[in-house]
Each structure stands twice: as structure tokens, then as C-alpha cells.
Chains A and B, each alone.
Chain A
Amino acid sequence: MSPVSDPPLFPHGEASRQERILRARARVLAEKPIERTANKAGHEVVEFFLGSEKYAIETRFVQEFFLAGAILPIPCTPPFILGVVSRRGRILSVLDLGGFLPGTVPHVTPKDKYTPLVVLRHEGMELALAVDRVGVVNHVTEEHLTSRNEAVPAALAPYVMGLTPEPMTILNAATLLSEPTLKVSD
């Protein structure tokens, strides 16, 4: 599809900044939404960003997103445990994926206020992932998924469900939540 030059909205003047904003917005709205047909096999995922990288987690593991206030650091915990927050009467551990996933370094720097957290739950295990920015709920079909064995290192493979061409890493929340290192027995 060859790019077509748009007609100017203001024929008698230069394209101003306002015009560029309006055009960008129109272009976004004109995108065709992802087909969410039941017929096509796929996954409902929630997108989020860590730095410049885009990740997604299936919506069935996601309880909610919320903006956390102050994260209370817990002493004598691994570095990827940023601390704990209180959410509707529950205490949630806040996990930094950057320091948790193998081969990565701590990434999320706790903000002074309103750190976006995504609350995950699976089989009684509940924790909050600290993210940089919240994305959208999207439907990823299987055909768009790339096998994890092709692009992901072996150590990281258990935590990755697949990759999209964008690229976007779809994490395996079940594996993540089942990780024994996250459990504190005493």
C-alpha cells in the first residue's frame, strides 16, 4: 500500500503543529481494530511496557491495573522484590521483572508516586508487577505468535509464551506465578 499524500486541511496556510496532531489522531482512529472473533484461536492479552520493550499477559491472569502510591520496601528480600503495597485490604508483593527474569538487570525504578502495577493471580498466588506504562487489551491470534524457542534464550523460555512481530513478548503468567523463588516460607 503506497502512501497517499493527504490533502491539506488548511489550504491557504502551512501545515501547523495543530494540523499534524489532528492528522495523527485521525490516523490512529482509522486503524482497523483487531478482529476478535471467536472463530479464530488466540489469546486475550493485556499489554504493558517495561522501558521501551512491550510485554503482554493473558487477561485471565490479570486482576487489575492500579496506580500504587508509596511502595514499602521489605528488608532481607531479593532485589527484584521492590516491596509491598496495600490494595483493598490485601498486601501485595511488588515484583520487578527486570531483575527477576534470568539474564536481565533490575529495571523498574520505583517512582515517588503512582507506580503503575498490574495485579496477577493464579491458583492462590497473587502479586503485582511494576511496569512503566499500561497498554491496551488486545487479541493475539496464534498465527501472529512466534515460537518462543526460536527467539528467546533457553533460560527465559519457561517464562515466555510467545512473541509477536511488533515485537511484543507475551509472558507466561502461570509459570511466573508458580515460580518457587517467589514464595516465602518463613
Chain B
Amino acid sequence: MTVWNNLKIRAKLSLGFGAILAIIATIAVFSFTNRSSLWKDETQQDDVYAFRKTLMQTKVTHYEWLTAIGSSVFQDSLATCSVESDPEKCDFSEWLDSSDRANFEKMFPEEKDLLNNLEKSHTALHSTFATMKSAIETEKTNPGGTDIRQQYLKTLLPQAEDFVTCVNLIQKPVEDRIDTLNNRMKEFMTRTQYMMLGLFITTLIIGLVLSQAIVRSVVPPLHSLVSVADEIAAGELKQWRVDFERADEIGGLYRSFSHMHARLLDMAQTLQKISEGQLNASISPTSPSDIIGNTLYAMIRNLRDLAGNIANGATTLAASSAETAASATQLSASTTESAATISETTATMEEVRQTASIMSNNASSVAENARQGGAMANQSRDRVKDISDAIKLISSRMDFIAQHTVQLSEKSQKIGEIISVVNDIADQSNILAVNASIEAAKAGEEGKGFAVLAEEIRNLAEQSKQATKEIKAILDDIQKATAATVMATEEGSKAVAKGEQQAETVSKVILDLASSVSNSSRSADTIASSAREQLKGIEQVTQAMESIRTTSQQNKESARQLDETSSSMKNLGQDLMRLVQRFKL
């Protein structure tokens, strides 16, 4: 039993499977040997069956052959009978000449004489018929005569009986050989069945025995290890000792498991020390690939660094907490101040919103005015065109006036010349009247009447002169007025031309103005829409400011809470410092 237990599991399994494989190989060899013998018998049986079939067909064929000849003989139609008369052309003769005959003689050597007799009988049979047929053909014999019938009855029929007898004699050993072969094959099959059954039972027994032996040597120790592993998995690392010694894999597994258990126990004890704050505990990794050992070693080292850092951090935290508390107080004050400022800003934004609303309305009014201005500019453009047309009409009228004023001036010149002539005539008349008066005065009393007449003439001349003077004055006025009119007309024409030019300029200006006003209208529309957008934006800003104000109130509360939290943090830092001091570095 100790030997079995010390045997390796691989050896045990190899032993079991080897025994089973040996039995299977025995079965295979036995089966192959029997199969070879069986195959030989089957081949021989096929040949024997073929012989029997040939013999039986030969009997049937020659029965039919004989019957046909008999019918022809007794019906007197032998001459026309078409049955084969040549023994060499018969099917049986072909079999006799084939390799099958040699095979038969090889298989049945004692029946060789019988086969020769059969061949002779067959040849005699066909020869008799050939004789009969040739006699008929040569007309030596009456076809319906008794000779032929006698020859048939006394020669051919007995030959035929001999032939059948020979066939039966040969068929007898063939039948015996068939029976022999069948019996032998049955016996072989029975023997094979028993042998297979015995081998199966043997294999079953060996398999069961070996499997039980292997299971009993492997499973109980594994169960024990599984229970220990479950305890380790559950964290129960109690003292455990290997209580048996084995040289197989199970023993190796027990030893490895024991090492692992000891190692885990060592680590657990180290971790327990760490958990108690003894960070001076040490552990040595077994190798660079010892993940747990290396990790634990790094963990202890990191914990030491961490504890040191936490201690420093706690110190810093305590100081920072004090500063944070001060800053939180300051933040609280600033937040309060900021909340007040945000409230003011919110109020200001409300005012801005109202102003933006007014501005938006004004922008809309401006846009409307700009549209009206555009319409007025278009009307102005039409009016300026009317004015331009009117100025052109005035220009033509001014030309007309200038032309007629020049003519008037020329006429005035003519009148002046005529007046000058009339004035000269008046002067002459005056002088003549004076001369008449002189002459009347010289005549004395007789010339007094003439003197009166001359005086009247002189008066008329004087009046004429006065009238011409007045006319001259009037004419001078007319000429001055005409000259002034000419001047005014020229100036008017120039002014009209200038006005026309200016009207064109104004028209261009009005067009530009209309375009500009149109652009202004579009710009005003854009401004109005922008103002509306701005108003919306300002309203959103106002809402945002309201949100900011709310948030600022919340911030104020948060600052107060931060103040409290910073005080708590300060206490926390001090607590942390006390906690860290518990670690032994």
C-alpha cells in the first residue's frame, strides 16, 4: 500500500490505461486473425455456390435441349430444328474450357474422374444429335420414319440420362462442401462471441479496480487541502501542520501549500502590526517576482512616507485652517459687500433696461421717421424734377424777355432819336417864335397882334420842349429801366441757368439724399431691431443680475458656512495631528 501511495499519479494513470490498452490490443489481434480465416472460407463458399449454379443451369439447359429435339422428332420437323448440334458451342463446353474447371479440379481433386466422364457424356449426347440431323439432311432416313424416333428413344434418351446422372454425381460433393463450410462459419462466430464477452468482462474488472485505487489515493488529500484553502479564503489563518509524508504530487502539493500558509501567516502578522500602527514592522520579499511581498514592502514604505506626509500635512492643515478661517471671515465680509454692490448693480441695470426700452421706442420712431423721410425724399425728387422743368420754362421765357427787352431798348433808342428831333424842332420853333416876337416888337403897335401870336407859338414850343423834356426823362427812365431789365434779364438768365444747374445738383443731391435716407431707413431699422435685441439682452442681463443677486445671497450664506467649516477644519487638523502621532515610524 505504501508503494502504491508513493507511486506518482502519472504512473498510476499510465498503469491503468496500459492494462486496458493491452486487453484491447489482444482483442484486436484475435479479431484480425479470425477475420482472415473467415474471409478465406467466404471466398471458397462463393466459388462452391458458383459451381452448384453452373451444374444446375447445365441440367436445365440440356433438359430443354432434349425436349426440343423430341418435339421435332415426333412432329417430323427435325430438319428445321435449330437446337445446337455442335458440343463445342454449348455453354457447358465453354465452362469446361474456362479457368473455372481448373479451379473446380483444384478445389475437388478427387472428383476429377467424374468431371471427365461428364465431359464425355456431354460430347456423346451432342454427337448423337448431330448424327441424327445429318441423316435427315442427307435424306438417308425418312424424317417421319421410325429410325429417327428409335434412334431418339434408344440412343439419345439413355445418353441424356447418363449425362444427368454424371451431373448429379458431381453435384453431390459440391453440396457436401457447402454444408461443411456453413457449419464451420457458424462455429467460428460462436467462438468469437464468447471470447469477446470474456475480454469485455476482464477489461471492466481491471478498469474498476484501477480507478478505485487511483481515486482513493488522490481524492481524500485533495478534500483536505480544499477545506484548508477554504479556511484561508475565509481569512482563517490558524496554525496548520502536514501530518503525512508522500513522495507523489499530492505530497508536493501539501508541502507547497504548507509554505504558502506559513508565508501568508507571516504577512498577516505583519499586517496586524501595521494595523496596530507599528509601521516599523518589516517584511522581506522572497524574490523580485514576489508580488505580494514586494507590494507589502512597498505598502509599508509608502505608509511610512504617507504617515510622515500626513503629519506634515496635518501641521500645514492646522496652519492653513487658521488662515482659511481668517480668509473665510474676510470672504464673508467681502461677500456681504459684494451682495450690496450687486443689489445696486441690479437696480442700475433696471434703470438701464428702462432707458434701453425708451431708446428702443425712440429707435422705432426714428426708423418710422426715416421711412417717412425716404417717402418725402422721393416726393422731393419728383418736386425737384417739377422745379427743374419749371426753371427750364422760365429760362425759355427769360430768353424771350431778353429778346423783347433788347427790341424794346432799340425802340427806346429810336424814340430818343425822334424826341431829339422833336426837341430840335421845339428849339427851332422857340427861336422862330422869339424871332417873330422881335420882329413884332420892331413893328411897334402894328406888330402887337403878331407878338401875341408869336408868344403863343413860343409857349407851344416851350410846352413842346417841356413835353419832350419830360418824355426824354420818361424815356431815360424807360431806357434805364430797360437797361436794368436787360441787366436783370441777363442776370436772371444766368440765375436761371445757375438755378437749372443747381436744380440738377439739387436733384442729384435729393437722389443721393433719397438713397442716403433709404440707407438711413435701413440703418434705422437695423438700429431699431438691434435696440430691441439690446433690450432683450439687457432684460436677460437684468434677470441674470437678479440670479447673481440671489446667488450672492447664497454665497453670503456659503461664506458663513465656510467660516464654520474652516473652524471645523482647524479642529480636524489638530485631531489628525494627534492621530498621526500614534504611528511609530
Indicate whether B399 reaches chain A with its CB closer than 8 angstroms. no
Which of A25, A29, A36, A137 interacts with B438 by CB under 8 Å?
Answer: A137
Residues of A within 8 A of B470 (CB): 21
Residues of A within 8 A of B431 (CB): 65-67, 116, 134
Residues of B within 8 A of A65 (CB): 431, 434-435, 438
A44 pairs with B427, CB closer than 8 A: no
Residue in A closest to B427 when the chains form the complex, CB atoms: A67
- Complex formed: what's the CA distance from A25 to B463 in Å? 9
A137 pairs with B437, CB closer than 8 A: yes
Residues of A within 8 A of B430 (CB): 134
Which of A33, A114, A136 interacts with B434 by CB under 8 Å?
Answer: A136
Q: Per-residue CB proximity of A107-123 to B under 8 Å, as 1/0?
A: 00000001010000000
- Complex formed: what's the CA distance from A25 to B460 in Å? 11
Indicate whether A179 reaches chain B with its CB closer than 8 angstroms. no
Indicate whether B455 reaches chain A with its CB closer than 8 angstroms. yes
Residues of B within 8 A of A114 (CB): 424, 427
The A-B contact count (CB < 8 A) is 51
Indicate whether A19 reaches chain B with its CB closer than 8 angstroms. no
Q: Per-residue CB proximity of A94-114 to B under 8 Å, as 1/0?
A: 000000000000000000001
B427 pairs with A64, CB closer than 8 A: no
A44 pairs with B441, CB closer than 8 A: yes
Residues of A within 8 A of B466 (CB): 25
Residues of A within 8 A of B435 (CB): 64-66
B438 pairs with A59, CB closer than 8 A: yes
Q: Per-residue CB proximity of B427-465 to A under 8 Å, as 1/0?
A: 110110011011011100100100100110011000100
A64 pairs with B438, CB closer than 8 A: yes
- Complex formed: what's the CA distance from A49 to B470 in Å? 21
- Complex formed: what's the CA distance from A67 to B435 in Å? 12
Q: How far is the CB of A109 from chain B (nearest CB, A)?
A: 17
B427 pairs with A46, CB closer than 8 A: no
Which of A29, A66, A116, A136 interacts with B437 by CB under 8 Å?
Answer: A136
Q: How far is the CB of B307 from chain A (nearest CB, A)?
A: 132
Residues of B within 8 A of A46 (CB): 434, 437-438
Interface residues of B in 74-111 (CB under 8 A from A): none
Interface residues of A in 121-173 (CB under 8 A from B): 134-137
- Complex formed: what's the CA distance from A65 to B440 in Å? 14
- Complex formed: what's the CA distance from A62 to B440 in Å? 12
Q: How far is the CB of B472 from chain A (nearest CB, A)?
A: 14
A38 pairs with B427, CB closer than 8 A: no
Residue in A closest to B431 when the chains form the complex, CB atoms: A65
Indicate whether A60 reaches chain B with its CB closer than 8 angstroms. yes
Residue in B closest to A116 when the chains form the complex, CB atoms: B431
Number of A residues whose C-beta is below 8 Å from B? 21
Number of B residues whose C-beta is below 8 Å from A? 22
B427, B455, B463 pick with most chain A CB within 10 angstroms: B427
Q: Per-residue CB proximity of A36-50 to B under 8 Å, as 1/0?
A: 101000001010000
Beyond A36-B448, A46-B434, whether A137 also contacts B441 by CB under 8 A is yes
- Complex formed: what's the CA distance from A103 to B466 in Å? 34
- Complex formed: what's the CA distance from A64 to B435 in Å? 5
Residues of A within 8 A of B451 (CB): 36, 137
Beyond A114-B424, A137-B451, whether A38 also contacts B434 by CB under 8 A is no
Residue in A closest to B470 when the chains form the complex, CB atoms: A21
Residues of A within 8 A of B441 (CB): 44, 59, 137
B455 pairs with A136, CB closer than 8 A: yes
Q: How far is the CB of A15 from chain B (nearest CB, A)?
A: 16
Residue in A closest to B428 when the chains form the complex, CB atoms: A67
Q: How far is the CB of B212 from chain A (nearest CB, A)?
A: 170
A38 pairs with B438, CB closer than 8 A: no
A21, A65, A116 pick with most chain B CB within 10 angstroms: A65
- Complex formed: what's the CA distance from A116 to B431 in Å? 9
Residues of B within 8 A of A134 (CB): 427, 430-431, 434
Residues of A within 8 A of B459 (CB): 29
Residue in A closest to B436 when the chains form the complex, CB atoms: A137
Q: How far is the CB of B468 from chain A (nearest CB, A)?
A: 13
Q: How far is the CB of A30 from chain B (nearest CB, A)?
A: 13
Residue in B closest to A61 when the chains form the complex, CB atoms: B438
Which of A29, A36, A60 interacts with B442 by CB under 8 Å?
Answer: A60
Beyond A21-B470, A46-B438, A136-B437, whether A38 also contacts B445 by CB under 8 A is yes
Q: Per-residue CB proximity of A68-108 to B under 8 Å, as 1/0?
A: 00000000000000000000000000000000000000000
Q: How far is the CB of A170 from chain B (nearest CB, A)?
A: 14
Q: How far is the CB of B437 from chain A (nearest CB, A)?
A: 3
B438 pairs with A62, CB closer than 8 A: yes
Q: Per-residue CB proximity of B416-430 to A under 8 Å, as 1/0?
A: 000000001001101
Q: Per-residue CB proximity of A1-37 to B under 8 Å, as 1/0?
A: 0000000000000000000010001000100010010
Q: How far is the CB of B464 from chain A (nearest CB, A)?
A: 12
Q: Provide 28 A-B residue pairs closer than 8 Å at the C-beta atoms, listed in order of the A residue.
A: A25-B466, A33-B455, A36-B448, A38-B445, A46-B438, A59-B437, A59-B438, A59-B441, A59-B442, A62-B438, A64-B438, A65-B431, A65-B434, A65-B435, A65-B438, A67-B424, A67-B427, A67-B428, A114-B427, A116-B427, A134-B427, A134-B431, A134-B434, A137-B440, A137-B441, A137-B451, A137-B454, A137-B455
Chain A residues with a Cβ under 8 A of chain B: 21, 25, 29, 33, 36, 38, 44, 46, 59-60, 62, 64-67, 114, 116, 134-137
Additional A-B contacts beyond A33-B455, A38-B445, A135-B434 (8; CB < 8 A)? A29-B459, A44-B441, A59-B437, A59-B441, A67-B427, A134-B434, A137-B438, A137-B440
Chain B residues with a Cβ under 8 A of chain A: 424, 427-428, 430-431, 434-435, 437-438, 440-442, 445, 448, 451, 454-455, 458-459, 463, 466, 470
What are the 8 A-B residue pairs with the smallest beta carbon separation, nearest first?
Answer: A137-B437, A44-B441, A59-B441, A65-B431, A64-B435, A59-B438, A65-B434, A62-B438
